[in-house]
Amino acid sequence: MRRLTVISKSLILMITTLALASCGFHLRSDKTLPSNTDYLYVQATSQNAPLVRALENRMNVYQIKGGPEAAPGLEDTTITLRLQPESLDRRLLSVFATGQVAEYELIYGVRYTVLFPNGEELKTSFEVLREYQDDPDQVLAKSRELNLVLSEMRLEAADRIIRLLSSQYAGL
């Protein structure tokens, strides 16, 4: 009986490991940015823009040193991130029988340029998509929900920027 539980635990562990390995899962290191960088300098047209605030929030979570001002003495190890103004578009997905809009697809666009310490410059962009159901009878609740969805989209965009910084630099 005891031998069966040991075998079943081993089998479960082996299946789980195989499943994780086959889907491409791997543990990330604790350092998000490349090892030869010490600072992330964020440039934007407005330092109070929601994306800048979300990016600063995520930099704190990932323990990345950086901010809206260049760090004196760290020019050789600084990544400069130039954020372009964000864009938000809506695409109609469905309507009610009355002709009112029932569902939108929110398209949050992010464009930025990265200047790496080695002088390489990279321009890139991406979109974060969400479906949003509109209910004309609950306008106040839906406007709060929309603000929450936009906040989540900005946090996802900030996470994506940080991940892309690391992967783009590795590819140079």
150, two tokens: 């936009």
If one counts every other C-beta atom within 10 angstroms of the C-beta of residue 18, the result is 10
Whole-angstrom CA distances from 83 to 45, 87, 88, 114, 148 are 8, 12, 15, 9, 22
- Which tens digit of pLDDT belongs to each residue from 2-26? 666 777 788 888 888 877 766 655 5
Residue 171's pLDDT band (boundaries 50, 70, 90)? low
Instruction: Decide which of 64 and 29 is more confident.
Output: 64
- Print the domain residue range for 65: 2-170
Q: Are strands 78-83 and 39-43 parallel, antiparallel or unpaired?
A: parallel
The CATH number of the domain holding residue 26 is 3.30.160.150
| pLDDT > 90 in the chain, percent | 37
- Which tens digit of pLDDT belongs to each residue from 85-122? 999 999 988 888 888 888 989 999 999 999 988 888 99
- Closest alpha carbon to 93 in 132, 129, 127: 132
- Compute the distance between CA of residue 93 and CA of residue 10 in angstroms, rounded to an integer: 48
Residue 127's pLDDT band (boundaries 50, 70, 90)? very high
Is 68:43 a contact under the CB 8 Å cutoff?
yes
- Closest alpha carbon to 43 in 73, 62, 72, 69: 69
Q: How many domains does the chain have?
A: 1
- Compute the distance between CA of residue 22 and CA of residue 3 in angstroms, rounded to an integer: 28
- Residue 50 in this model has a pLDDT that exceeds 70: yes
- Compute the distance between CA of residue 123 and CA of residue 146 in angstroms, rounded to an integer: 29
Cα angle 89, 51, 117 (rounded to 5 degrees) comes to 120
